[in-house]
Amino acid sequence: MTEPITVPTPQQIIEPAISGRTETMVLNMGPHHPSTHGVLRLVLELDGEVVVNLAPDVGYLHTGIEKTMESKTYQKAVVLTDRMDYLAPLSNNLCYALAVEKLLEVEIPERAQIARVLLTELQRISSHLVWLGTHALDLAAMSVFLYAFREREQILDIFELVSGARMMTSYFRIGGLAYDLPADFLPTVEQFLAIMPSRIDEYEDLLTANPLWLERTVGVGVIDAQAAIALGLTGANLRATGVAYDVRKAMPYSGYETYSFEIPIGKNGDIYDRYRVRIAEMRQSVKIAQQAAERLRELGPGPVVTPNRKVAPPPKREITESMESLIHHFKLWTEGFKPPRGDAYVSIESPRGILGCYVVSDGSPKPWRVHFRAPSFINLQSLAHMAKGRLVADLVALIASLDPVLGEVDR
Amino acid sequence: MGIEEKAGNLGIVTTTLETVVNWGRTNAMWPLLFGLACCAIEMMGAQASNYDLSRFGMELNRASPRQADLMIVAGRVSRKMAPVVRRLYDQMPEPKWVIAMGDCAACGGIFNNYAIVQGVDEVVPVDVYVAGCPPRPEALIDGIMMLHQKVMREKISGKKEAPIRLDQPLVQVK
Amino acid sequence: MDNQTVLAALRDTVGREIRAVSEFRGDLSVTLTPAGYLAAAQFLRDDPELAYVFLENLCGVDYLGRKPRFEVVAHLTSLRHRHRVCLKVGCDEPDPTVPSLTPLFPTANYQERETFDLLGIKFAGHPSLTRILLPDDWVGHPLRKDHPLGDEEVAFTFNQERIYARKPFARE
């Protein structure tokens, strides 16, 4: 490392300008700006068109999710996690559910595990499709957006089939799934997975060898592996620098160790490599989802919530017959379950990077503290490092390639 | 399908000024390209291939508030963002309308806490509230249609009607 | 790499600074003094055998009613060994301060600013400790347990007249 990595604050850029620095200009970008993907505000220090320094100013979507979760029971708090990274609600559900399940030490039935893997992989594809569409839109390729959203709607239809909601599904609950998969789930998924690879080819036809796309992305926004790790960059952004670190392989959860897939990596750590890595990831996700669908078909029907009655309610018909089940149901609905005292940290590979969840339990039915390691929030720190010395137009491509979701940045 | 079919070969159409102005406003209503949170993704979905909002003359999202006349508040408004929303609203030229898309924008939704403004109607006057978390693209389109009907009823005096709420559409929309 | 190896290495270097060690659900967490926290993080990062070069998570917890009241939790990951270790350090009122990890791990910058913003824990040695999520003129630290949630009464049919009468509706 030649010079130390710094992450400036907006004040550090604005104040010299107010006190009379005239060589460079300060430009405010956002929070209302079409290419900041939400309500991100950037304070740029410009020398002509060249970015000398920049500081992201976040918090315009601060929702107080962590505080609100402390006032809900464990199971009710699942709903709040959905709205964090709103492009991948199921990944958030999964991360939170895994953390609480780690505290509780409950066993999840096989069918629920496979469904979780299948649905999070579909979620990854749908999230990457939004990234692809908006990234291309920012670089003035309108048609990719329309193609990407066509496939995304198909995935949302699957989610709607499963849970009744298109986006905010809250489908993964602590102890398993909210309810069983519907009968026509597998045929719909298999139909989608059969066409998806050819659709990814379509996007690649539009972009991968497109000279305009190459000019805007190759060699732009470069970061090396060492700086990326120091700045906590994760996900496809880290893998584009050549570091093959994926939580699904490194510390497998939900049975990912039993699926065969590869971790696509890049070489140069530029925007084009991130694009290639994410496209390859979509193909890998299709592959994982296909394996999961096969397993679901082989496994046949079965339970989707844990048999532990202290965590998951008994089936409805049991309540009318058994007094004990009625009591369990009553306890769960009036009070909720009580994990033992302690804390647990779990991380998963969300579409944006390492999503971590730290839960502290004080033995009461409500979490004492829930903290999310939000990948978008931490990835944003590296923006200044990558954008220095580049043009403002490159910055637009750079923000899109980092794929931040502001709901997750601000929580 | 244009007006010439109804006019026949007369070459002259008689109507009121109100009707023709309001008709023009509804059929070229430019929304502000302004997304806050989850609902913005559904708003994008409404503009994308499957739902195709451009059927209603609304495909042109303007990034500058000075060129927009409809603000769709898509998502939760935090206390830090509220002044920005108001400023954007003030920068829009008259006449202007606001749709509060989603529960968070309408009433705070599930986020009843220190950080979120409990309804964007505390910040800007809202014309139509669209329920849902997030509302489906169809719900947004329905809300926009409702706003169009409301605009058609507007008087040249410029006096505005009370907000329309989606929970009782049949009572309010004639 | 397993928990015992890391713990033994930590005992060798910062053994005097370790206050408590716990293994819960297979995760190792080590509670240290403020000085030991910094030294342990530096040792774990720089030791070529261990190579915990990635600061995965840093956050604070408010244990109201316990001594010390606040605790900062840092999760360090070794990308090579695929292992995670948790360092904890306590700090107490009236001036909760812990050493900053930002000079060691630049990624701690935002996470420490967030912890400062929401919990009011100060990080000595942080280059620019300012509010990050909340507006600069915000009073209080909302994630503290003695900070109210700040919720408002929800309007239903039976009480909406009363609530709407004092709700500050915006004007044109």
Task: Encode pLDDT of A346-379 as tens digits.
Answer: 999 999 999 999 999 998 999 999 999 999 999 9
- Residues A265, A80 contacting (CB under 8 angstroms): no
Band of residue B7 on the pLDDT scale cut at 50, 70, 90: low
Q: Do A67 and C149 touch (CB under 8 A)?
A: yes
pLDDT value of residue A158: 93
C10-33, pLDDT tens digit by residue? 888 888 888 889 888 888 999 999
Asked if residue C160 belongs to a domain, the reply is no
Asked if residue C168 belongs to a domain, the reply is no
- Reported as half-sphere exposure (CB side, CA atoms, 13 A), residue A185 has a value of 23
The size of the A-C interface in CB pairs under 8 A is 106
Q: Is B123 on the interface with C (CB under 8 A)?
A: yes
CA distance C126 to C130: 10
Query: DSSP secondary-structure letter at C155?
Result: P
Q: How far is A407 from chain B (nearest CA, A)?
A: 6
Q: Do C170 and B121 touch (CB under 8 A)?
A: yes
Q: Do A381 and C86 touch (CB under 8 A)?
A: no
Q: Is the model's pLDDT at B165 over the cut of 60?
A: no
Contacts of A13 (CB under 8 A, 6+ apart): A26, A43, A44, A45, A53, A54, A55
pLDDT value of residue B173: 39
Band of residue B167 on the pLDDT scale cut at 50, 70, 90: very low
Q: What letters, b where the CB count within 10 A reaches 16 and e where it falls short, cover A165-177?
A: bbbbbbbbbbbbb
Quick one: which of A212, A228, A211, A214 has its CA closest to A265?
A228
- Cβ neighbour number for residue C24 with a 10 Å cutoff: 15
Q: Is the model's pLDDT at A286 over the cut of 90?
A: yes
CA distance A160 to B131: 18
Q: How far is B25 from chain A (nearest CA, A)?
A: 24
Contacts of A7 in chain C (CB under 8 A): 106, 109-110
Measured between alpha carbons, how far apart are the two ends of chain A, in Å?
32
Q: Do C171 and B114 touch (CB under 8 A)?
A: no
A384-393, pLDDT tens digit by residue? 888 888 898 8
Query: Which segment of A3-12, A293-302, C94-103 scores lowest on mean pLDDT?
Result: A3-12
Q: Do B41 and A86 touch (CB under 8 A)?
A: yes
Scan for tokens 């079409």, then name that residue.
A34
Q: Which two tokens stand for residue A160?
A: 């709607």
Q: Is the model's pLDDT at A84 over the cut of 50?
A: yes
Query: DSSP secondary-structure letter at A37?
Result: S
pLDDT value of residue C14: 85
Band of residue B6 on the pLDDT scale cut at 50, 70, 90: low
pLDDT value of residue C89: 93
CA distance C60 to C65: 15
Residue-wise DSSP of C64-131: TTSSS-EEEEEEEEETTTTEEEEEEEEE-SSS-EEE-STTT-TTHHHHHHHHHHHH--EEET-S----
Q: Which residue is closest to C148 within chain B, CA to CA?
A: B114
Asked if residue C60 belongs to a domain, the reply is yes
pLDDT value of residue A357: 93
Whether the link from the prior residue into C68 is cis, omega within 30° of 0, is yes
User: How many percent of chain A have pLDDT more than 90?
Assistant: 43
Helix (H, G, I), strand (E, B) or coil at A46: strand
Q: Is C144 on the interface with A (CB under 8 A)?
A: no
Band of residue B174 on the pLDDT scale cut at 50, 70, 90: very low
Query: DSSP secondary-structure letter at B75?
Result: S
CATH number of residue C95's parent domain: 3.30.460.80
- Reported as half-sphere exposure (CB side, CA atoms, 13 A), residue C89 has a value of 25
pLDDT value of residue B9: 67
CA distance A97 to A305: 12
CA distance C80 to C149: 42
Q: Is the model's pLDDT at A154 over the cut of 70?
A: yes
C63-86, pLDDT tens digit by residue? 988 888 999 999 999 988 889 999
Q: Is the model's pLDDT at A245 over the cut of 80?
A: yes
Band of residue B172 on the pLDDT scale cut at 50, 70, 90: very low
Chains that touch B (3 or more CB pairs under 8 A): A, C
B99-124, pLDDT tens digit by residue? 999 888 888 888 888 889 888 888 89
Asked if residue C89 belongs to a domain, the reply is yes
Asked if residue C99 belongs to a domain, the reply is yes
Q: Which residue is closest to B33 within chain A, CA to CA?
A: A34
Q: Do B122 and C142 touch (CB under 8 A)?
A: no
Rounded mean pLDDT of chain A?
89
Asked if residue C100 belongs to a domain, the reply is yes
Asked if residue C83 belongs to a domain, the reply is yes
Domain count, chain C: 1
For chain A, how many residues are written?
Answer: 411
Q: Sheet harboring A342-350: ordered strands across?
A: A342-350, A353-361, A369-373
Contacts of A391 (CB under 8 A, 6+ apart): A49, A50, A51
- Residues A403, A131 contacting (CB under 8 angstroms): yes
pLDDT value of residue A121: 93
A60-75, pLDDT tens digit by residue? 989 989 999 999 999 8
Q: Is A60 on the interface with C (CB under 8 A)?
A: no
CA distance B148 to B141: 10
User: How many percent of chain C have pLDDT more than 70?
Assistant: 100
Rounded mean pLDDT of chain C?
88
CA distance C58 to C54: 11
Range of the domain at C7: 3-134
Q: Which two tokens stand for residue C171?
A: 């004007």
Quick one: which of B143, B149, B145, B138 has its CA closest to B166?
B143
- E-strand ranges in A20-165 read 25-29, 41-47, 50-57
Q: Do A61 and B35 touch (CB under 8 A)?
A: no
- Residue predicted with more confidence, B10 or A145: A145
Q: Is the model's pLDDT at A30 over the cut of 90?
A: no
The whole-number average pLDDT for the span A133-155 is 89
The partner residue sitting opposite A345, judged by closest CB among C27, C110, C150, is C27
Q: How far is A17 from chain B (nearest CA, A)?
A: 23
Q: Is A150 on the interface with C (CB under 8 A)?
A: no
CA distance C133 to C114: 7
Query: DSSP secondary-structure letter at C145?
Result: T
Quick one: which of A167, A185, A194, A200 has its CA closest to A114?
A185
Query: DSSP secondary-structure letter at B122?
Result: G
CA distance C54 to A229: 6
Query: Which segment of A8-12, A398-402, C97-101 scores lowest on mean pLDDT?
Result: A8-12
The whole-number average pLDDT for the span A247-259 is 90
Contacts of B86 in chain C (CB under 8 A): 170
C120-156, pLDDT tens digit by residue? 999 998 888 889 999 888 888 999 998 888 888 888 8
Element (H, E) at C10: helix C3-14
pLDDT value of residue B171: 39
Asked if residue C156 belongs to a domain, the reply is no
Q: How much is the CA Rg of chain A, to the nearest whole Å?
A: 22
